[in-house]
A and B are shown apart, each in its own frame.
Chain A
Amino acid sequence: MMRRDDDAIISLVSRTVSPFIMIFALYVIFHGHYSPGGGFQGGTMLAAALILVRLAAGSDLAQLQFPRSWGTPLGSAGVLIYWGTGFVSMLCGGNFLNYAFLPVSGPPPHHRNLGILFIEVGVGLAVMGILTAIYDDLLEGRPHD
């Protein structure tokens, strides 16, 4: 952000909390079938954890954790996972996004369950990558340099 004073407490707390937010975010993504939550919430929390470190340690130091150039590619990959799940079911004879045609074993409800999991992961990746990228872009070209 602007000028930053290195505060030991802020740095310590944010670095300690950030991994726990990430773990909880992963839980939210993968447990979305059974409880409130899902890809979008989890992805936003992952982005929040990354942004927290960026806020506390400064954008330059946080590059070690999550480089600036990863945001957009990861986000694109997330959308591609979503689209790919739909497209594979299209190639296997169903309509677009018809998970019952996914080439996995088991009865159709199981296919759909798995399909939902795939796209939740895609959504999570996409949201995490792109929100972080937006944050980085907003900070690009700081006034003082």
Chain B
Amino acid sequence: MTWIWNNSPALPVVLLLPTAIAIPLFALIERRLARWLALAVSLTTVGLSILNLVKALSLGPIHYHMGGWPPPIGIEYVLDPLSAFVLLVINTIGFLVLVHAKKVVDREIPESGKHVPYYAVAVLMLCGFNGIVVTGDFFNLYVWLEIASLSLYGLIAVGSRKAPVAAIRYLILGTIGACFYLLGLGFLFTMTGTLNMADLKAILPAVGHEPAVVIGLGLIVAGMGLKMALFPLHGWLPDSYTYAPSSSSALIAPIGTKVGAYVLIRVLFFIFGTAYVSRTIPVTTVIGWLAAAGILYGSIMAMAQTELKRMLAYSSIAQVGYIGLGIGLANPLGLIGAVLHLMNHAAMKALLFLVAGNFRTILGHSNIARLDGSTRRRMPWTTAAFAVGALSMIGIPPLAGFFSKWYLALGAVAKKQWIFLAVILLSSLLNAVYFFRVIERIYFARAESSAAEPRTEASASMLVPVLVLAAALIGLGVLNAFIVKGVIGKIVTSAMF
């Protein structure tokens, strides 16, 4: 027990990696073991992240030295409230999606020989994201970022016929992003001589005025903007989400973009400090305006789509914009909004993409125009969960989505940014328009065939994660004050305001 307690910061990564290797090897014995291994390890990481969150909240930041070398010399893992919180969000969503994945993978990946490496790559992706979140070293972050991105390309590419094209476009843009990150890191490293985050933070005041440092920060922000699909850099997102298998989209949409947002928050508010990024050089202002433009663009484009998954993809651009907006406000309320929305959007988008996966598996399509009352009668639980998710996206009060928007709006008021406030309100309206279009078709459109169709609800493995997420949206909304005070409040106080 004490062994687990001592090594808990490193254990998620350390356990995920050999499982990814073991999956193909054990699958030689029994094919079905692959999925069970993936489930077991991701459940373990959920447990470990809960332990880590408790530890980080009660003991303060925990430093774990890899190889026993102290920070400027070796690599350290840092668990502070922010990283522990994001770790828990990522692992929980990953576990729920993996539970759901079985039927979707069976249906949407035709060659059965690919199921085993699919699970292995999915576990590797989780491993990469865990590494990004916990590491306290810039170069180590780059390595895990590459692992996660490479796995994402593969997960997208096994989808429909057009998926490889989307994947290679993502690969090229993603590599540009990674190269920007590495180049910006090179500038920072040449100016300061350290790769450790805490060390860099201590050295920055001495060299912060140099153009090379400013441009290094700009390049890192641009690279991470590409990874999180901030507005003008979102080109890869719609196609990737649409053509990927539904389980991949449900993994990427909630987790992939959020990690980019996490790195931005970490770099801007925890290393460079708010005063530097909002007054010395106006990085956050630029991010805020781009995010506002992205919210409007994503919402308007989402209204024009007829395919559920593509609509959700454009909606993702808008929702990532909310996080960007919270970063752009650069005040405590805005940061609360951004971190809260990071969690809420992860849950909402996972739920909606899983529902899209259910539609595809049971109905064989996810075209909005072909959904109607018979869909509701055939799949009552799935459609109910969809309604909960959609209402939460719009921001109906008791549901989780309302509260992050509420804090963002409060932040905009505190900063006297009336345009941002207007953007938040307007986009809620647009959200309502495009989600009510779907809800209207499901609940109020008359079925084309009046014959009573048998109820063909999705099987338990597909239904339970959806229902859990729907319940979580309600629960997160109700417990919102508790989460904000207990967890996010500590995150905000540890940021440099």
Contacts and interface: CB of A to CB of B under 8 A. Distances in A.
Chains A, B in direct contact (C-beta < 8 Å):
yes
23 contacts: A72-B24, A73-B24, A76-B21, A79-B17, A79-B21, A80-B21, A83-B14, A83-B17, A83-B21, A86-B14, A87-B18, A90-B7, A90-B14, A91-B3, A95-B7, A95-B10, A95-B64, A95-B65, A96-B14, A96-B67, A97-B66, A97-B67, A99-B67
Contacts of A83: 14, 17-18, 21
Interface of A: 72-73, 76, 79-80, 83, 86-87, 90-91, 94-100
B24 A94 contact: no
B18 A95 contact: no
Contacts of B67: 95-99
Contact of B10 (A72, A80, A96): A96
B17 A95 contact: no
B264 to A, nearest CB: 28
Given A72-B24, A90-B10, 5 more contacts: A83-B14, A83-B21, A95-B68, A98-B67, A100-B68
In the complex, which of the residues A80, A97, A100 has the most CB atoms of chain B within 10 Å of its own CB atom?
Answer: A97
Contact of B25 (A76, A91, A94, A98): A76
Closest 8 CB pairs of A and B: A98-B68, A97-B67, A76-B21, A95-B68, A96-B10, A98-B67, A83-B18, A97-B66
In the complex, which of the residues B17, B21, B65, B66 has the most CB atoms of chain A within 10 Å of its own CB atom?
Answer: B21
Nearest to A100: B68
Interface of B: 3, 7, 10, 14, 17-18, 21, 24-25, 64-68
B21 A96 contact: no
A94 B14 CA distance: 14
Contact of A87 (B14, B21, B65): B14
Contact of B66 (A72, A91, A95, A100): A95
A59 to B, nearest CB: 20
Given A83-B17, A87-B14, A96 B66 contact: yes
A72 to B, nearest CB: 7
A76 B17 CA distance: 11
B24 A76 contact: yes
Nearest to B7: A90
Given A83-B18, A95-B7, A96-B10, A73 B66 contact: no
B129 to A, nearest CB: 18
A94 B67 CA distance: 8
Contacts of B68: 94-95, 98, 100
A90 B18 CA distance: 15
A60 B346 CA distance: 48
A118 B256 CA distance: 34
Contacts of A100: 68
Contacts of B7: 90, 95-96
Contacts of A80: 18, 21
Contacts of A79: 17, 21
B119 to A, nearest CB: 14
A80 B18 CA distance: 7
